[in-house]
Amino acid sequence: MQIAEQSTAAEPVIDVQSIPPHQRHPLILQATQDLAPGRGFVLVNDHDPRPLSLQIQALFGDAVSWTYQERGPERWRVRIGRPESGTAPATSLRVRIGRGGQASAVAAETPLGVAGGGLVCEITDCPPGTTAEQVLDLMQGVIPPAGQLHLPYERLVARRSGSCCGGMCG
């Protein structure tokens, strides 16, 4: 990640123009995940990062703000921040995956692993405000890799958006 300059609010400016495209989103998402309440950074790009804004909204909901500061045509600047309010910690949900791939929510104290004709796994790092219905919708048809009982929400979103491995690779 390249921090090229400082914004007027003494926040880092991350200029991704020289970073290979396939590395940009993971770096920006990690920087967003690491933001403390009340902090932010300015993203500089050579095109409108609208697809990234949709991905951030899906992952973080209202816990992260997105404010355009400059809109092209040669450079886009966006402030990505974590407001003081709306910063509830990420949550998790336990899900039973039946033999046919159907998913249903189970109680938080349900043991992980094979149980009751299905597999109970935990979906971790769900953005604040994520409903059980949203998680279950993403889970339909998912069969976790053997031995993997904790699935990050981000990987389910990647699977839905067509990643090469269904969001299940490292």
| pLDDT for 81 | 93
> At residue 113, does pLDDT exceed 80?
yes
Select from 60, 131, 52, 56 the least CA-distant residue to 139: 131
The string of pLDDT tens digits covering residues 12-66 is: 999 999 999 889 988 998 898 888 888 999 999 999 998 888 888 877 777 889 9
Q: Determine the Cα–Cα distance for residues 41 and 78; give it in Å rounded to an integer.
A: 8
Tokens 């992952």 belong to residue: 59
